[in-house]
Amino acid sequence: MPDIIGKKVRRVDGYRKVTGEAIYGDDLKIPGLLHGAMKYTDIIAGTIKKIDLSKAKNMPGVVTIALQKDVPGMKKVGPIRQDYPPIVENKISYSGDVIAVVAAKTRKQALAAADAIYVEYESLDPITDVETAIKPDVRLIHPEYKSNIVNHYPLRKGNVEKGFSESDHVIERNYRTGFHEHAYIEPESVTVVPDYTTEGYKIYGSIQNPFTTRKVVSMFMGIKLNQINVISSTLGGSFGGKDDIINNLACRTTLLAHLTKKPVKITYSREASIKESYKRHPYIMNYKVGFNNNGKLNSMKINILADSGAYSSQTFFVTWRSVVQATGPYEIENVETDIRGVYTNNTYTAAFRGFGTPQVIFAQESLMDEIAEICNISPRDVREKNGYKQGSITASGQRLTDHKVSLKQVMEAAVNKSDYESKIQKFRELNKTNERFKYGIGLACSFRGCSLGAEGIDTSSAIVSVQADGSIIIFTGVSENGQGLQTTFSQITSEILGVPLADITFLNSQTSAISDGGPTVASRGTLVGGNATIEAANIVKNRIFSVVKDELKVGKLEDTRWKDGYISSKIGKEKISFSHACEKAVSAGVNLSAYGWFKSPDVSWDDDTGQGNAYFTYVYGCHIVETMIDTDTGKINVENITAAHDVGKVLNRLGAEGQVYGGVTQGMGYGALEDYNIQNGEVKSLNLDEYLIPTIKDIGNIDPVFIENEDKHGPFGAKSIGEPTLELTAAAINNSISFALEKQNYELPLTLEQVFLGKKLVKPSRQSEVVHASKKYKKQVPYINKISVKTPKNIKQALTLMSENKYKVLAGGTDIVVQARHKIKPLKLINIFSLPELKKIKVRNNEVEIGSAVTFTKILNSEHLTNFKLLLQAIKTIGSTQIRNKATIGGNIVNAAPCADSVPPLIAYDARLRLRSKENERIVPISEFIKRNYRTIIRLDEILISIIIPKPKNYFYSYMQLGRRNAVNITRMSISVLINFDDKNRIEECIIVDGSLFSRSQRIEVVEKYLFGKKLTKNMIKNSVKYLSEKIENEIGGRWSAEYKKPVFINIYKSALEDIYKQRKQDD
């Protein structure tokens, strides 16, 4: 029994991370540091005609501006095909292309100078879909490669046409998936320091693959590998995402360090990160499958187009993995697969956890469910019938004999853990009676090749260095990306040498100190790096043994036990402490440092036929997802996910579970939530307020289940876990949605519109909206320029300042500080946040008066406002706790965003606003205050002092809000309803206010009028809809979004009234 392998072990780097001591890329401080910034392209596609640096060069603090002509080495780089220019010469291929790089004394100065670079372009209409890009006679994105097709991987096995002709059924389906942004919480950062000892550079930062970074920078700078030492900082998440982008950023930063002879740091803002960084490839997949009545698959023909975006990057490798795994873990006699990567003018695409598999698994597993339905067998049966067994032959002709083929085992484990069979019955029953909420359950399976496979040389390195006092230093060629590799390798060393973890130190990777261990990708860290660590530790172990064996009176290493810092004999009672043994070994002149090296078993691949032994071992997984769908809105709630994985062997249970929780959550985001908005090549979702990743309220229960079939090639039998966890979830979610709605869905992500309408709703692209060069000076990347703030002592002083008509009001700051990042002119603010007069909640007989600087948290906790239930319910959904702690009710009103959640309830309550200037005061109804989105009637010299709300009668109320997530939403739409009844049960008073639907929130009077005087019945609610429908049609019917908004608003309107109907019934 191992001592520490398989246990729950704390992260060895955890202490630094919970105390704030860990140093991430941007935390580095170096004297004399310069800061860099990018000048991005202003257009999507075209040619640069002129670059004018004259203004930028003379900006304060600017030290140098680099163009492509300054690059000493190769102008273009790339992992396989060198088509990516870290700084472009004159051709623009996508919105994240970099034209120039500025070094200045401060980051702000660098950003300002980058914005001051003037570029003239000749722009072209971007090509943004792969189907257009492959048409004959279409403009070539990169003419030098003669085609927009980056690569083509074919796979041929058997004879698909013969297979189709022998099948009872042949069906053909098309599937689509979207881009997927990594959204690591740490934006990219690189610091380069000139190193005079090597006449080269030290490169620090958020670097996923230090050896790759080194190689790319050496090419770009035209210097040797031994002149560059890449030292990873603590990495704030990567998921495959800090590979190419960080290499390219390192190139630019090194160039600036070269030109200035100074250390230079470049840290990205979130917007720069999302704009420039690569994404997961969108796929368009056509699957044609032939099968028999019993569900047996005979033949499968697959055709896939992968959007590579503007550059090839990892497209070759990503699509290669897809071709190996495109049929899923099913044995099919006849397979013909063709996958092509295609250049477009979109954001380029490359590695992302999963690496070409989540797309094909979505298609394949959706297809399997459809086949099951046609054959009238269960989703599980169709998979068991066709699934890989020991000795099965894969699509690439590989016979699976070298490892335990555990597909059936993982499926059984997931089925049992989730109680799959009985839930199918239960949900079917529930769905018969429930109209609005439908329950879904879906299953998906996969097999996955471990490590790089036939992508390339697969080797790794490790050093275990034991010191004379018994303490140990280890470091490896693969790196810690946050996944916990340091801990696993420390455990391995601890297990072998019997030394407590506390005596082991893991050093961050640095390329000059160890040989290239390959990239930390493909879930290979533990597998290959772990093996190298084992080898190094065993070499040292043998050397120590040779010194102490006589004292222990044993002849063979097998006769010793290494545990708890002691080496003891298994035969006799002899025992020696590890530290003493080390001391002896050092005295005897023994070298206690050892190098471990692991070379993966051979694999093979034939590019023409797609046949070969693609990977030396595989893992198997099965996810079962339970969902609840609101059919009124298309909103999905993921309730429960069971994730069963054969990992070979669990080394650190805490780490393995963490991989499952995290991977599954990312997979959930990919399937149900995350929608990278790019239109005509222009990225619209540039920050985390628009690109929505799951919050803590969006995940349900997750049950990790581990199956351990130890692999002969793995360290202690371990294989992979990082990527398998992500690749299945979206497919299983989709199957659960299709189950619930009894309708197949063929496209990811499952946005509200996708679920509700069965299609994506895209803003129609007009030629006029295609981004061409803009003469208007604007910030390419937002940052705060210049703000000056005056803090008056009292309201009188504040109003005197306001009378100068040049200030804006700073209350909570949660909107204005965000907006300030986009402003170019200096912003002058009057800080009213702490003025006591504005922080009070005053109660009078028939009304309350809330000071405008009262925060939402204060309102929620106020004892005076408990009767304003509609308002409180709306406020609970605003932002997050941090935002509500700072944001004020006055700010929310004056900002007048269409999604300002406090406004509709205040309109419903007939609130009035006290506006005051130095000379005057006026009180206006809130319904007249907001003219339209972001426009109000407040004058430049006025401050909103307070909000006066009549004490509400004993209304029945209902508030419904729709957002894509369950927290921190931008409200898509809301409805606020207040109703009173007379003693004859007739509606005596009725107030209905929309949120985010019309050009400004307003009472929907036509509907109110219809309801007035009537009894609230289900029939009456139904009849009232036509008035609402007409109103919506008249106001927003022509908008592209109305196809979704109109029916859904009607649905939430009906729900709100039915809610009151139910309350009323309970009251009776």
Residues 196-235 touching another protein, rule: CB under 8 A, are: 234-235
CB nearer to another protein: pick between 18 and 457 = 18
Examine residue 15 and tell whether it contacts another protein (CB under 8 A): yes
According to CB under 8 A, which one of 208, 218, 269, 508 is a site residue for another protein?
Answer: 269
CB nearer to another protein: pick between 371 and 853 = 853
Convert residues 309-348 into a mask of x (bound to another protein by CB under 8 A) and - (unbound): ----------------------------------------
Contacts with 135 (C-beta within 8 Å, 6 or more apart), sequence order: none
Examine residue 405 and tell whether it contacts another protein (CB under 8 A): no
Rounded CA-CA distance 429/422 in Å is 11
Tell how far CA 118 is from the center of its chain: 34
Q: From edge to edge, which strands make up the β-sheet containing 200-205?
A: 62-66, 98-104, 34-40, 264-267, 189-195, 200-205, 228-232
Examine residue 666 and tell whether it contacts another protein (CB under 8 A): yes
Long-range contacts of 51-57 (CB under 8 A, 24+ apart): 51/99, 51/100, 51/117, 51/118, 51/119, 52/117, 52/118, 52/119, 52/120, 53/100, 53/117, 55/116, 55/117, 55/118, 56/102, 56/113, 56/114, 56/116, 56/117, 56/118, 57/113
Binding segment (CB under 8 A) for another protein, from list 220-228, 663-671, 1032-1040, 1057-1065: 663-671
Q: Give me the least distance between CB of 218 and another protein, in Å please.
A: 28
CB nearer to another protein: pick between 35 and 524 = 35
Examine residue 655 and tell whether it contacts another protein (CB under 8 A): yes
Binding segment (CB under 8 A) for another protein, from list 68-76, 664-672, 988-996, 1026-1034: 664-672
**Exposure letters 966-998 (e unless 16+ CB within 10 A, then b):** eebbbbbbbbbbbbebeeeeebeebbbbbbbbb
Residues 877-916 close enough to bind another protein by CB under 8 A: 879-883, 885-886
Rounded CA-CA distance 629/624 in Å is 16
Q: Are strands 682-683 and 678-679 parallel, antiparallel or unpaired?
A: antiparallel
Q: State the amino acid at position 517 in one-letter form.
A: G
Longest dimension (CA), the chain: 103
Examine residue 577 and tell whether it contacts another protein (CB under 8 A): no
CB nearer to another protein: pick between 662 and 715 = 662
Phi-psi region of 152 (alpha: psi -120 to 50; beta: other; left: phi over 0): beta
Q: What is the 3-state secondary structure (H, E, C) of 969-1018?
A: CCCCEEEEEEEEECCCCEEEEEEEEEECCCCCCCECHHHHHHHCCCECCH
By CB under 8 A, the count of residues binding another protein is: 87
Residues 788-807 close enough to bind another protein by CB under 8 A: 788-789, 791
CB nearer to another protein: pick between 599 and 697 = 697
Cis peptide before 749 (omega within 30 of 0): yes
CB nearer to another protein: pick between 821 and 951 = 821
Nearest to 947 by CA among 791, 839, 870: 839
Q: Are 272 and 781 in contact (CB under 8 A)?
A: yes
Q: Give me the least distance between CB of 414 and another protein, in Å please.
A: 17
Q: Give me the least distance between CB of 438 and another protein, in Å please.
A: 24
According to CB under 8 A, which one of 22, 393, 1025, 1050 is a site residue for another protein?
Answer: 22
CB nearer to another protein: pick between 87 and 781 = 781
CB nearer to another protein: pick between 98 and 968 = 968
- The 3-state DSSP class for residue 101 equals strand
Binding segment (CB under 8 A) for another protein, from list 86-94, 306-314, 540-548, 683-691: 683-691
CB nearer to another protein: pick between 198 and 831 = 831
Cα-Cα end-to-end distance for the chain: 68
CB nearer to another protein: pick between 155 and 643 = 643
Examine residue 731 and tell whether it contacts another protein (CB under 8 A): no
According to CB under 8 A, which one of 699, 1006, 1020, 1036 is a site residue for another protein?
Answer: 699
Q: Give me the least distance between CB of 108 and another protein, in Å please.
A: 8
Residues 581-600 close enough to bind another protein by CB under 8 A: none
Rounded CA-CA distance 1061/1047 in Å is 21
Convert residues 748-787 into a mask of x (bound to another protein by CB under 8 A) and - (unbound): ----------------------------------xxxxxx
The CA distances from residue 608 to 120, 339, 396, in Å, are 45, 13, 12
Backbone angles phi, psi at 176, to 5 degrees: -135, 145
Query: Which ranges in 855-897 belong to alpha helices (H)?
Result: 856-861, 869-876, 881-886, 889-895
Q: Give me the least distance between CB of 353 and another protein, in Å please.
A: 10
Examine residue 657 and tell whether it contacts another protein (CB under 8 A): yes
Residues 158-187 close enough to bind another protein by CB under 8 A: 182-187
According to CB under 8 A, which one of 4, 5, 6, 26 is a site residue for another protein?
Answer: 26
CA 639, 677, 735, 334: dihedral to nearest 10 degrees?
-150
According to CB under 8 A, which one of 661, 1027, 1037, 1043 is a site residue for another protein?
Answer: 661
Backbone angles phi, psi at 332, to 5 degrees: -130, 130
Strand partners, 934: none
Angle (CA) 788 794 797, round 5°: 65
Q: Are 579 and 449 in contact (CB under 8 A)?
A: no
According to CB under 8 A, which one of 84, 94, 153, 239 is a site residue for another protein?
Answer: 239
Give the DSSP letter of residue 916.
E
CB nearer to another protein: pick between 339 and 781 = 781
Rounded CA-CA distance 207/200 in Å is 18
Q: Give me the least distance between CB of 19 and another protein, in Å please.
A: 5
Examine residue 31 and tell whether it contacts another protein (CB under 8 A): no
Binding segment (CB under 8 A) for another protein, from list 309-317, 450-458, 654-662, 674-682: 654-662
Examine residue 991 and tell whether it contacts another protein (CB under 8 A): no
Examine residue 697 and tell whether it contacts another protein (CB under 8 A): yes
Residues 456-495 close enough to bind another protein by CB under 8 A: 481-484
Examine residue 857 and tell whether it contacts another protein (CB under 8 A): yes
Tell how far CA 669 is from the center of its chain: 7
CB nearer to another protein: pick between 165 and 834 = 834
Residues 58-117 close enough to bind another protein by CB under 8 A: none
Examine residue 688 and tell whether it contacts another protein (CB under 8 A): yes
Binding segment (CB under 8 A) for another protein, from list 285-293, 552-560, 810-818, 845-853: 810-818
Rounded CA-CA distance 105/853 in Å is 38
According to CB under 8 A, which one of 2, 7, 21, 502 is a site residue for another protein?
Answer: 21
Q: Give me the least distance between CB of 44 and another protein, in Å please.
A: 24
Examine residue 272 and tell whether it contacts another protein (CB under 8 A): no
The CA distances from residue 972 to 315, 633, 961, 962, 1034, in Å, are 36, 11, 8, 6, 19
Strand partners, 973: 962
The CA distances from residue 755 to 176, 634, 636, 784, 972, in Å, are 14, 5, 8, 39, 15
Convert residues 521-550 into a mask of x (bound to another protein by CB under 8 A) and - (unbound): ------------------------------
Q: Give me the least distance between CB of 240 and another protein, in Å please.
A: 12
Examine residue 687 and tell whether it contacts another protein (CB under 8 A): yes
Convert residues 813-832 into a mask of x (bound to another protein by CB under 8 A) and - (unbound): xx--xx--x-------x-x-
Examine residue 259 and tell whether it contacts another protein (CB under 8 A): no
Rounded CA-CA distance 351/455 in Å is 13
Examine residue 500 and tell whether it contacts another protein (CB under 8 A): no
Q: Give me the least distance between CB of 705 and another protein, in Å please.
A: 15
